[in-house]
Amino acid sequence: MSTFKEIRGTLIKSLSSDPSPIAAGDMWYNSTSKVLKGVVLSGAWASAPSMSTARSGVASDGTQTAVFVGGGHLGGGVSTTATEEYDGSSWTGGGAMNASRRSLVGAGIQTAGLAFGGYSPSLDGYVALTEEYDGSAWTNVPSMSTARLGLVGCGTQTAALAGGGNNGPTVYSATEEYNGSSWSGGGAMIQARGGLSTGLGTQTAGLGYGGSRPTPALQYSLTEEYNGSSWTAGGALSEVKADVSGTGIQTSGLAWGGQTPGGRFATSQAYDGSAWTAGGDLSSARHSTARAGGSTSALTAGGDTAAGVTASVEEYTFAATTQTFTTS
């Protein structure tokens, strides 16, 4: 952002009508309406068609117009195997997962997805189970070494990253990498914790943030960056919270929602590789949502709200808009 010192003395055009085309950073004086105008970049959430099934703590990934959502918590301790797919305008049913589970995480795209970890009542507890999705059916593949939920997950079906998480009161810093056929160990996270973000980025440039641990009860704003072998600290979230959702890449990410024992969040923040800045708010505070897309075109679906699990969906768009400026 430019300071007054930097722009002082810069000429601003006086025009009888708004110019076209326009670009971010343009500024002019409209002599007809007698107002100063400029083009700024900003992000906002807008409602989109709801999922068929209200749920939270799902496996999900893809783009804003090609999303898969699998599994999750229906409320009342009930988990599901149901899969839904979004095409940018409506949701349709996909192939059922092989085991019902919640608080798992996903990676990949709609036609080549990956789901791992979580808690499965049908399998009597915390799982390391991994499944691959081909756009129509799920297939069991080799499991992670560590059974856990609330972990970081990102990457692709053949190059995924898993880190942190918890199994009951035990929290982990362990990292695992998936190569399309098996999991292997990676560098440990700086801080062992569960309730982590869904994670964002790639296997060799990943990001994990927020989180919690049950004993002693703590929440974190810590952000960690992974380079394919080790984790280093990045810029902290402006809020201490767990179960945050997010998408994008390590140097251009978007995070939203989350919770603490005191309540839920509707806020979103953008990451530029070193620091987080405020973005537009969701219409409702929620945590543990589905996620897909990138930092300028994202989607959130479902999640846990004050009224319970929801099926509502919102889409995020970051774009240039014309604004009017006033002086005082």
Q: Bridge-partner residues for 203, per DSSP? A: none
CA distance 94 to 62: 14
> With a cut of 50, which residues of the chain have pLDDT below it?
1-7
Q: How far is CA 121 from the centre of its chain?
A: 25
Length of the chain: 328
- What is the pLDDT at residue 27? 84
Question: What is the reported pLDDT for 2?
Answer: 44
Instruction: Look at residue 320 in the predicted model and tell me its pLDDT.
Output: 67
Q: Where are the domains of the chain?
A: 4-42+319-325, 45-318
Buried b (16+ CB within 10 A) or exposed e, 19-31: eeebeeebbbebe
Peptide bond into 21 cis (omega under 30): yes
DSSP secondary structure string, 181-201? Answer: S-EEEEPPPSS--BS----EE
Phi first, then psi: give them for residue 79, nearest 5 degrees. -110, 165
* Tokens 């990451």 sit on residue: 271
Residue-level pLDDT at 3: 44
What is the phi/psi pair of residue 80, to 5°? Answer: -135, 160
Please report the pLDDT score of residue 235 as a whole number.
97
Contact 22, 322 (CB under 8 A): yes
Match domain 45-318 to its CATH number in 2.120.10.80, 3.40.50.720, 3.40.50.150, 2.102.10.10. Answer: 2.120.10.80
Instruction: Tell if the pTM clears 0.85, that is, is over it.
Output: yes
